[in-house]
Structure 1
Amino acid sequence: MANPPMNIQDTFLNIARIRNIPVTIMLVNGEQILGRIEGFDKFTIVLDGGQKQQMIFKHSIASVSPATPIKDLFRPQNRKHEARNTGSKRA
Structure 2
Amino acid sequence: MAERSQNLQDLFLNTVRKKKISLTIFLINGVKLTGVITSFDNFCVLLRRDGHSQLVYKHAISTIMPGQPLELKIEEGPDRSQNLQDLFLSTVRKKNIALTIFLINGVKLTGVVTAFDNFCELLRRDDHAQLVYKHAISTIMPGQPMQMFENEEGAAREAS
Bin the TM-score by the shorter chain. Answer: 0.7 to 0.9
CA deviations 1:17-70 (Å, max 9, x no partner) are: 000000100000000000000000000000001142100000000000001121
Alignment of 1:1-91 (within 5 A): 6-74=6-74
Deviation at 1:4, TM superposition (A): 6.1
CA contact 1:12–1:73 (8 Å) conserved in 2 = no
Larger radius of gyration: 2
- The gaps in structure 2 that reach 5 residues or longer are 77-160
Q: Which has the higher strand share?
A: 2
Instruction: Give the aligned residue type for 1:45.
Output: V
In 2, Cα distance between equivalents of 1:20 and 1:28: 24
SS of 2:36's equivalent in the other structure is strand
Partner of 2:116: none
Alignment CA distance shift 1:75-1:22 (3 Å): farther
- Using the size of structure 1 for normalisation, the TM-score is 0.73
Structure 1: runs of 5 or more not aligned:
77-91
Cα distance in 2 for residues equivalent to 1:29 and 1:73: 31
SS across alignment from 2:23 = strand
Aligned CA-pair RMSD? 2.1
3-state secondary structure, aligned to 1:17: helix
Quick check: 1:23–1:66 contact (8 Å CA) kept in 2? yes
1:6 Cα deviation after fit: 4.3
**Overall identity of the aligned pairs, in %:** 34
Work out which structure has the larger RCO, using CA pairs closer than 8 Å and 6 or more positions apart in sequence: 1
| Aligned length, in residue pairs | 75
